[in-house]
Amino acid sequence: MSTLSRRLLIAVSAVVAVGVSYGAGVITGVVGSSSSTSGVIDAAADRISESAAEPVDRAELERAAVEGMLKSLGDRWSSYYDPSEYSSFEDALQGRYSGVGLWVRAGRSGVVVSTVQKGSPAEDAGLIPGDVIVSVDGWPTSGGSVGEVVQRLRGPNGSEVMVGALRAGVVSNLTLTRSVLNTSDVTVEQLADGVTRIGIRTFTRGVGRDVREAMAADPSSFAGGVVLDLRGNPGGLLDEAVEVASVFLDGGPVVSYEQRDAPDRVLSAIGRGDTTTSVVVLVDGGTASAAEVVAAALQDRSRAVVVGSRTYGKGSVQEPSVLPDGSAIEFTIGRYLTPTGRVIDGRGIEPDVLVDVAAPPEAAEQRALEVLRGLTAALPLIDEG
C-alpha cells in the first residue's frame, strides 16, 4: 500500500484521538476501524502526478483528498490542520498560543478590543482597548462571531496578519507579525460590596484549578457573591469546563453528549463545590461551546442566574485525530445535552435575565451586580451564636 493509501485509510479508520478541542471541548477515544481500501484515490493521485500539464506536489494532493472527504460530511466544524497548524492548536490548549495578543468582545459597533497583552505585537502596533476590529486579512469581521475572529488572529509563529482597526471614524490597516505568547485565561477582580468577578477568556489547561484557587480565598472577598464572566469565551477543553462547573456544584451531572450508535455519556461534577455563594454568570453572543456547557449546567442545576444575551449555540462535539505525519483532522462526532436534556447546538442558552445585545458591556455588568444584590438579600440569616 502506498503512503497515500496508508494516510487516507488511517484518516477514515483507526485514527487515535489525542484529547479535546479548542472551541469544542471534547472527549478521547478511538474511531472505529474500516477494511475499505483506497485504490480509487491512489489511482487518481498517480494519474494526476504522472500526466498533469503542471507538476503537482504529492503532499498537496494528499491534503486535497483529506479535505475533500471532510467537505463531503457537510460539517462546518470539520477541519484539517497541517503539522505546524496542529502544533499551534495544541499550544493554545496549554495556555500558549501564536498570535498578536488581543482579547476581543462583541460590542455595539462590532468586534471590540477589550484587552491588549503587554509586550505583544498588538501593543507594538499601537492597538488599544476600544478599537473596533473590522477585518482580518481582508475578511470582514461583521461576517462572523467573536470566536471566528480570534481564530483568524492566531496562526503560525512569525507569520503576518493584516488587521483593520477602526478608531475615531478612521480605519487603519496594520500588519502584525504573530509571536508565541503565554497567557493566563483567568482574571480575578475584587469589586465593591464583597463581590468577586472571575473572568474566563478560554478553557485552556489549568483554568479549573485557577477558579478553584480563587474560590478558596478569604470568604469575605466574595461575601457579596461571584460574577462568573464568560462573555466572548469561545470554548476550549471540556474537562476544564466540567472542573469549573464543579467548583459551584456538589456532584451531579454537568453535561452529556450523544454519539451515533452509542449511549449518551454523562459527565458529572468532581468533588464537593461551593453551593452557598450567590453566583451570576455573564454571557453574550460570543459565549460558545464549552463556555455554554458551564452556563447551562449552572442554570439547569439552579445554581446560578444567567445574565446577558443569547449565547452562540455551538453545542457540537469535535474530536481531533492525529495522522501519521503529525497533521490532524477533526469533525463532529456528537452533540451536547444540558443536565435537563436541552440541546445547545444551533439554539444557544437563553439567559434568565436578558440584556439588550446592543447595550454596552457596562450595562450587563451593572445588571449582574443588581441581580447579585437581590440574591444576597434573599439568603437566610445564619445564627453564628
Active site residue 250: no
Name residue, grid cell 476581543. 104
Cross-sheet strand order for the sheet of 253-259: 262-268, 253-259, 332-337, 316-318
**Helix runs in 27-164, H state only:** 39-51, 58-71, 83-93, 121-124, 146-153
DSSP secondary structure letters along 294-322:
HHHHHHHTTS-EEEES------EEE--EE
CA-wise closest residue to 11 among 90, 57, 78, 84: 78
Per the document, the length of the chain is 385
Residue 56 is placed in which grid cell?
503537482
Alpha carbon distance 157, 18 (integer Å): 23
Say which of 239, 314, 316, 327 is annotated catalytic.
314
Residue 196 is placed in which grid cell?
468577586
Alpha carbon distance 321, 122 (integer Å): 32
State whether residue 315 is helix, strand or coil: coil
Active site residue 71: no
| CA 212 to each of CA 108, 139, 198, 209: distance values in angstroms, whole numbers, following the listed order | 33, 39, 11, 5
CB-CB contact of 197 with 371 (8 Å): no
Cβ count within 10 A of residue 234: 25
Say which of 131, 210, 229, 300 is annotated catalytic.
300
Treating both helix axes as pointing N-terminal to C-terminal, what angle do 290-300 and 238-246 enclose, rounded to 10 degrees? 30
Active site residue 118: no
Residues involved in catalysis = 289, 300, 314
